[in-house]
Structure 1
Amino acid sequence: MQEVMDKLRERAEQANPSRADKSDGLSPENEPKYDCPKCKDQTGYLEVREGYEVWLRCSCIDWRAQKLMKFSEITEEFRKLGFKNFRTEGKPEVIQGAYDCAYNYFQSFEEIREQRQNSITLLGQPGTGKTHLLTAIANNLMFKKHVGVQYFPYVEGFNDLKDDFDKLEEKLARMKEADVLFIDDLFKPAKGVPRATDWQVEQTYAVINHRYLNYKPIMISSELPIDQMVEIDEALATRIYEMCKQYLVLIQGDKFQLNHRLEDMT
């Protein structure tokens, strides 16, 4: 109990510098400015209740989550996707395995986020719920852990950038620096051929390499297994593999059993 109280007190002291700290040449106009003066951006604060100091959740958490969601570029429809509405009943074992992998990643995120294997990739056939599960992680990271996620749908995203090069540097910078980057449908095939122009590969590599060097997590869905990605660009694929190998699932099998959009055809 004492250890918990000490930690709470330490967080409060960090959020409320002592007068001695404030007197080190800082005038009031130079003091830090907070989005939430109530908790000084700590998402909570200490309050004495019945003689005990308790850590209270600040009301700013809700609007912070909404702000993260807005900048994530995740659509309204995707915001509805969570772990609770992902169905595994009646599905092959690999679907349950993908669910377990995604849920365990979310649960372990704070522990692993600064490690080399701090990322997740779900690979394999379309319609198997890869995007659903990664979006569930993203939504939970933003609403429950207040971690920023940048969503980038590979095909639509690069089409938009190709049509407006003025956005390119700004967008790539956001992808490089986001707390977590979610690339959906990497190298999405068209008529069996992966979409991977030299320009697309070059931009993707620049983003992934930056995140790799700076230990910034990625989440990736793709229809291609790692060995096919290696054929496209070995340096890029091996970085993705090294970052994601602790949380990697390859979904392959009978499309009529795996693809939820084909269920009524079985």
Structure 2
Amino acid sequence: MLDPDFDCPNGCDANGFLFDEVTRQAYPCSCREERLRRRAHGDMEASVGRYAPPRFQDLDWSSLPLSGIAERHTAAATHVRRFAERVGDNVRQGRGLWLLGNKGTGKTTLAYYVAQQARAAGLSVLTRNTTDLLNELRDSYKPDAQPTTRQIIDAVTHVELLHLEDVSVPRPNDWVLEQLYTIVNRRYEHNKAIVFTSDTPFGQALKPDALADHIGERTYSRLMQMVGDPILMTGQDYRLTVGA
């Protein structure tokens, strides 16, 4: 059975089929493809987790933290807001975002806002801290592990929007570089959008191409074609200055 709560205007059954009384045959309703897509997304969320923790749900520009970010980082907030207004078209065309800057400037919140709007638009979304994702992949090699390696790889490959946090944090080694390349390359080949964040220590110049040294030239090259120029956010750690 597909989504029983799906409100189909054609009155199809729970599996997305209509019945022709003349031919006495069942045929797929126009909604069946969408219902299959929704079930796949639901299965994905059930196996590998939902799109956002409580702190980053129900984000709105009229209240904190988004209102504060818009005040402190107007250009970045405007860019993200415009992207999110057309998130369905952007994601379906494989366009993503890179938020690069100092800790505590609001990169994560803006990325979660995009994820929130994508999900509200009916797209499947998967968010992971990059270190956590790599740890989950490592643990999935164990016998009887849940989710399995295949479930994780399938999710990060096929989800319509993949949101990765702190891409620059994991210490690079051959295994880490291989996993990052696999994830990015599969999405690149399938024209699947990525939104990701990365940090630069406060006081240091923001150098986008420095990420290539951390994640590998092949992975960096593909990401750049998928996201374009990064959205830069500089300043002191807002969490520390206000205790938030």
Please give the TM-score of this superposition, normalised by the length of structure 2: 0.72
Give yes or no for contact 2:69–2:77 (8 Å, CA) kept in 1.
no
- Structure 1 pair 104/69, CA: closer, same or farther in 2 (3 Å)? farther
**Residue 220 (structure 2) aligns with:** 237
- Percentage identity across paired residues of the two chains: 20
Q: Which of 225, 228, 232 is equivalent to 2:210?
A: 228
Kindly provide the amino acid, as one letter, of the partner of residue 229 in structure 1. Answer: L
Q: Counterpart in 2 of 1:172?
A: 153
Q: 1:103 to 1:170 in 2, by over 3 A?
A: same
SS at match of 1:128: coil
Superposed, 1:1-266 pairs within 5 Å as: 27-28=25-26, 31-32=27-28, 71-84=49-62, 85=64, 86-88=66-68, 92=72, 95-115=73-93, 118-143=95-120, 145-165=121-141, 166=145, 167-188=148-169, 195-224=171-200, 225-232=207-214, 233-245=216-228, 248-252=230-234, 254-255=235-236, 259-264=237-242
Q: Secondary structure at the match of 2:231?
A: strand
1:78-125 alpha-carbon deviations (Å, 9 max, x no partner): 224344431337954xx2222111111111223333435x11110111
Q: Structure 1 or 2: larger helix share?
A: 1
Q: Write the deviation string for residues 183-216 of structure 1: whole angstroms up to 9, x where unpaired.
A: 111121xxxxx52222122111111111111111
Contact 1:119–1:217 (Cα < 8 Å) also in 2? yes
Q: Is the 8 A contact 2:166 2:198 kept in 1?
A: yes
Say if 1:99 and 1:133, in contact at 8 Å, map to a contact too: yes
- Asked if 2 retains the 8 angstrom alpha-carbon contact of 1:141 and 1:148, the reply is yes
Deviation of 1:147 after TM superposition, in Å, equals 0.7
SS of residue in 2 equivalent to 1:132: helix
Alignment partner of 1:195: what SS?
coil
Find the structure with the greater CA-based Rg.
1
Kept in 1: contact 2:125–2:162 (CA 8 A)? yes
Q: Where does structure 2 lack aligned partners over 5 or more consecutive residues?
A: 1-7, 201-206
In structure 2, relative to structure 1, the CA distance for the partners of 1:83 and 1:65 (3 Å cut) is: farther
Deviation at 1:155, TM superposition (A): 1.5
User: How high is the TM-score relative to the length of structure 1?
Assistant: 0.66
Aligned-pair Cα RMSD in Å: 3.7
Return closer, same or farther for 1:156/1:68 CA change in 2, 3 Å cut-off: closer
